[in-house]
Structure formats: structure tokens, C-alpha cells
Amino acid sequence: MLDEFLNSIKSYPDFQRKWVDDLNQFLKRLDPNSSIIATHGHCPDGIVAGSMIRYDSEFAEIIPIDYWVLNGRGVRERLEDLHWKGIVDLEPFNKRPTEYWVDHHIGVLGKKINSQKIRYDYNGESGSFQLLLSNFLRPMPDKIIELVTLTRITDTASYTFIPPTYELDEDNEILNTRYESLNLENKTAIQHKAYVLDDAVRSISTFEEMQKTYDGLAKEGFIFLFKYKQKINQLRIQRLKEYEIAENLPKADCLVFKFDDGKLTPYSFHRKLLNSKCFVSISVAKVPDGYKLSFRRKKGLNPEMNKILQLHNLAKQFNGGGHEAASGGFTTDFDNFKLEMERWSLKNNLSIQFCDVEL
Ligand SMILES: [Mn+2]
């Protein structure tokens, strides 16, 4: 099914090829008459949506889809033809009508939607929050509502402090506080939990682990994430080293940092830079066939500044899209990207710096 794509990514890192290979096997074995539901792949929002879908139905076939896969050679042509029951936190890539479609990405605005039921709010927080509000699934228990509440922080990056570097343990009092309402009070504690979700999701590598995470979260809620404790702690040790590097970078309105994909965790690096070095932080991850770009804007800027910094429009120039404050793209030509970025910053009267980062 995805054989053409698999052939085209021979030079990709092992874990990515394994991911596509497993997905391919899964699709080949899939009963076309089962309830097939797509959710966003490696992101907390998509994974929590997956656990909601699992809670709703033991038999649903949940397919995590990442955009680098969907946009891969020949993939869309294969996936759009499936009989999707639902699509969540993803663009409406289906050809046949779905039962429901749920999303919150502004980049989708204006795209053709072919679905019986729709829940779309481009100002809305997280896809799983939209899924909860939609009532398309059966009522969710508190343990899942808590996870949804966390995605309202992870997905909008509305943290007030940068990703932590402390070691995780099950006895941590803050992490044992339960949030059984959609109320975001006690902001500090809930953010600590949101960071565990964020870090756990970054620790999932295989397709099988992803499926087990849907099951585990549906059954146990937040505490299931402690299964990833060791990996989360490794990630946090690495984060501490990355913060030291970030400290030594120059200040500018816009900072662009380039690195070999997999050698750095862009998400916390962005946060560290936006915290003390720049208004816009752009990561350029070198992959075998080009560069993955992600654009992040600082929180709490004045409205005029936000108007200038419409990052989804910037991302659109580089085969991408997303949100105003956070979006992603791709380019095969770094020099052209650099030139375009210099042009953009000059036009908007912003200073820009490019850095190579190596750990
Ligand atoms: Mn989302």
C-alpha cells in the first residue's frame, strides 16, 4: 500500500522507516469494513484524541497520521480512498464522506469538507478538546477529561515556564494532583502534568507503542504515562545540555537554528530561545532529502507585532501551514529559504540571526 513511499525513504533514519513499514503492514491487514479513524500522529493532542476514540470503541482501528507521511510519495492517493469513519486533528484528506471530522487548524479554512458531522473551530484549543465538545463520542470519564485538559496547554503551548529538567518520580505530589474538571486553575501544577504528557509523547517511537498508549490512556488515564519514566528522564538530561547551548546563542528578533534531525529536541530549544533570546524562533532540521522547518512565536506580544508575525503564512511559502503562532514547513533548498527569511525580516524591520547548533 505504502510501498512506493517506503522505497522513496530508504535514506531516512531507521525509526522512521520502521514506523512507515509498521503502518504499511497495519493498513494491509486492515478490514476495510471496520471503523477506521485517523488521528494526528506524534503529538499529545492526536494521542489523547486516540485514547478517546479507544475509550469510545474497543474495536475502532485508530490510525495515527503524521503530515510527513501523508505528504509522502503516493501516500495521500492511498489513504484518501479508505472508508474513514472519522478524522480528528487532521486536514480533511478523505474522498468518501466520513461520519465525522474534527479539527482546529486555521490552515484548513476553505478546504472542502466531506463529512456528515463537523466540529471545526480554528480559534479553538486542541483537537481532542473539540472532539470532547462535539459529543460525537460517548461521554468521557474524568481520567480522560483530565488528559483533554492537558492538551489545552500542550497544543497551544500556553505554558508559563519552560520545559523542566527535573527527574520524574511517581511520588511527586504535584503529579499526583488530579484535574477532574475543564477548569485550568492551579496553573503551575497542571503545567507540570502537561509537560509529562509532552515528554511521554516524545518518548513513543514505534507504531505498536502508539497503539498501546491509546489503550493505556483509555484505561488508566494520566498515570499510564509513568510507563515512559525512564525515557522521559533521559530526555530531560539531554534538555539540560541543550539549555546550556541555547544560553550561548546571540539575541535577535528572529533566531534560526539549524541542526541534524534527531540530534536536538527542537520543542524545548524553541521555548528556551523564546524565553530569553528572540520573538520568533525557527528550527531547521536537516533530513536526508531536505530541511524540516518549524516556526514559533513568543507569547504575549502586542497585537501589532502579532499581526506582522503570522507564522502560518510564512510556513505556507515553504510547503507548510499551521497556526499563527506555531507552524511547520519543508524545503529542499536551504540557501533559498535563508534568502527568503532575510527578505521577510528586512521587510518587517526585524533583526535575524542564523546559527548552527551541535550538541
Ligand atoms: Mn492539534
For ligand 1, the distance from its centroid to the CA atom of residue 53, given in whole angstroms, is: 15
For ligand 1, the distance from its centroid to the CA atom of residue 44, given in whole angstroms, is: 8
- Residues 210-258 have pLDDT tens digits of 999 999 999 999 999 999 999 999 999 999 999 999 999 999 999 999 9
Say whether 249-356 and 3-234 share the same fold.
no
For ligand 1, the distance from its centroid to the CA atom of residue 265, given in whole angstroms, is: 19
- Residues 141-199 have pLDDT tens digits of 999 999 999 999 998 777 889 999 999 988 887 777 776 655 666 678 889 999 999 99
For ligand 1, the distance from its centroid to the CA atom of residue 46, given in whole angstroms, is: 6
Give the residue from 120, 76, 116, 80 showing the smallest Cα distance to 102: 120
Question: C-alpha distances in angstroms, 115 versus 90, 96, 154, 258?
Answer: 13, 8, 27, 40
CA–CA–CA angle 145, 67, 62 (5° rounding) = 45
Mean pLDDT confidence for 120-139:
95
For ligand 1, the distance from its centroid to the CA atom of residue 319, given in whole angstroms, is: 19
- Residues 263-304 have pLDDT tens digits of 998 988 999 999 999 999 999 999 988 999 999 999 889 999
CA dihedral 345, 349, 350, 352 (to 10 degrees): 50
- Give the rounded distance of the alpha carbon of 67 from its chain centre: 10
C-alpha cell of residue 116: 456528515
3-state secondary structure of 25: helix
Which residue type sits at 225? L
| Domain range list for the chain | 3-234, 249-356
For ligand 1, the distance from its centroid to the CA atom of residue 20, given in whole angstroms, is: 21
Q: Which residues contact 304 (CB under 8 A, 6 or more apart)?
A: none
- Residues 32-78 have pLDDT tens digits of 999 999 999 999 999 999 999 999 999 999 999 999 999 999 999 99
**Residue 343 — left, alpha, or beta (φ > 0 → left; ψ -120 to 50 → alpha)?**
alpha
Measured in degrees and rounded to the nearest 5, phi and psi for residue 294 equal: -135, 140
Q: What pLDDT shows up at residue 106?
A: 84
Q: What pLDDT shows up at residue 186?
A: 64
C-alpha cell of residue 180: 477532574
Given the candidates 3.40.462, 3.40.50, 3.90.1640, 3.90.1570, the CATH classification of the domain at 3-234 is 3.90.1640
Residues forming beta bridges with residue 260, ordered by sequence position: 286
Q: What pLDDT shows up at residue 156?
A: 77
Say which residue the cell 521555548 belongs to: 271
CATH architecture of 249-356: Roll (3.10)
